[in-house]
């Protein structure tokens, strides 16, 4: 076993353990932290495959931004994890059996080194993954890139359309309306008849 394989198995073991912790941890914060570890180890594996750009993006975007947000949300919400996980251990034997059977079936179908396909040849040391990706995204794959942007736009529209509620009786004020207000809107002059005279008339 060469050094690369050793590193690969080390990272894989950490990844599997972290993945299991995500679903078995009692405390949701621990789950989220285990997910951070899983992402980071996954990034290390990608690094081994010479995909530096993807690895760095995974760490920057998922670990750096998404998971921090996730942690905030998990800490803010009062989640009763026992309630949510009720039945986890009851279903585990059956689920594990199905998973093991599926894994065995797939291994028997795909037995053999890399499905019998030839491994890709390694790139020279000065080959920059990031540079190549950048070139491709804005030239050959600009169509796909723009489409991905449209999908993000749809996600924004959907999220706003589904969650924005204009409740009646809201107390917020519209500054434009406030500025436009005129005296006549706020003050109403009422001319009242003299009260005493009226009362006297009734008596009469």
Partner 1 sequence: MPDLLPALPEIFVLTLACAVLLVEAYTKNGYWSYALTQLTLLGAAVLTVFTTSADTVYAFNGLFVDDLMGDVLKLMTYLAAIVSVVYSRTYLTDRGMFRGEYFALLLFAVLGMMVMISAAHFLSLYLGLELLSLSLYAMVALQRDSKVATEAAMKYFVLGALASGLLLYGMSLIYGLTGSLHLAEVAATVDFRNQTVLAFGLVFLLAGLGFKLGAAPFHMWVPDIYHGAPTAVTLFLGSVPKLAAFAFVMRLLVDGLHPAVGDWQQMLAVMAVVSLVVGNLAAIVQTNIKRMLAYSTIAHMGFLLLGVLSGSYAGYSAAMFYVVTYVLMSLGAFGMVVYLSRGGFEAERVDDFRGLNATHPWLAAVMAMMMLSMAGLPPFLGFYAKLTVLQALVGAGWLWLAVVAVLMSLIGAYYYLRVVKVMYFDAPHAEPLVPATAAGDVRALLSLNGAAVLLLGILPQPLITLCAYAIQASFR
What are the residues binding partner 1 (CB under 8 A)? 109-110, 115-117, 139-144, 147-148, 150-151, 153-155, 157-158, 160-162, 165
| Cβ 167 to partner 1 shortest distance, Å | 12
**CA-to-CA distance for 63 and 60, rounded, in angstroms?**
6
Structure tokens at 12: 């894989």
The nearer residue to partner 1, 91 or 115, going by C-beta atoms, is 115
| Cβ 29 to partner 1 shortest distance, Å | 25
Quick one: CA dihedral 70, 33, 54, 13, positive or negative?
A: negative
Q: Between vectors from CA 3 to CA 109 and to CA 116, what angle results, nearest 5°?
A: 20
The nearer residue to partner 1, 93 or 116, going by C-beta atoms, is 116
Structure tokens at 83: 């309630």
What is the CB-side half-sphere exposure of residue 92 using CA atoms within 13 A? 9
The nearer residue to partner 1, 10 or 135, going by C-beta atoms, is 135
The nearer residue to partner 1, 77 or 150, going by C-beta atoms, is 150
| Cβ 204 to partner 1 shortest distance, Å | 59
Residue 158 φ/ψ, nearest 5 degrees: -65, -45
The nearer residue to partner 1, 111 or 189, going by C-beta atoms, is 111
**CA-to-CA distance for 95 and 99, rounded, in angstroms?**
6
What 8-state DSSP symbol labels residue 166? Answer: -
User: In this structure, are residues 54 and 35 in contact, taking their beta carbons and an 8 Å threshold?
Assistant: no
| Cβ 110 to partner 1 shortest distance, Å | 7
| Cβ 98 to partner 1 shortest distance, Å | 15
What 8-state DSSP symbol labels residue 58? Answer: I
Structure tokens at 201: 């008339």
What 8-state DSSP symbol labels residue 123? Answer: P
| Cβ 165 to partner 1 shortest distance, Å | 8
The nearer residue to partner 1, 103 or 199, going by C-beta atoms, is 103
Structure tokens at 204: 């009469």
């Amino acid at each position: 076993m060469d050094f690369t394989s050793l590193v690969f198995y080390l990272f894989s073991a950490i990844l599997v353990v972290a993945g299991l912790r995500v679903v078995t941890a009692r405390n949701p914060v621990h789950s989220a932290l285990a997910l951070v570890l899983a992402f980071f180890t996954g990034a290390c594996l990608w690094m081994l495959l010479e995909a530096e750009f993807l690895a760095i993006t995974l760490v920057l975007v998922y670990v750096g931004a998404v998971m921090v947000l996730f942690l905030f949300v998990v800490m803010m919400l009062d989640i009763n994890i026992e309630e949510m996980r009720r039945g986890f251990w009851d279903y585990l034997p059956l689920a594990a059996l199905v998973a093991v059977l599926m894994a065995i079936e797939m291994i028997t179908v795909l037995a053999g080194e890399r499905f019998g396909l030839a491994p890709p040849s390694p790139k020279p040391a000065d080959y920059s993954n990031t540079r190549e990706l950048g070139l491709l995204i804005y030239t050959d794959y600009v169509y796909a890139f723009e489409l991905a942007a449209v999908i993000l736009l749809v996600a924004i529209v959907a999220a706003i359309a589904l969650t924005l509620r204009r409740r009646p009786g809201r107390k917020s004020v519209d500054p434009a309306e406030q500025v436009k207000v005129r005296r006549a809107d706020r003050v109403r002059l009422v001319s009242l008849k003299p009260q005493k005279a009226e009362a006297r008339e009734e008596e009469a």
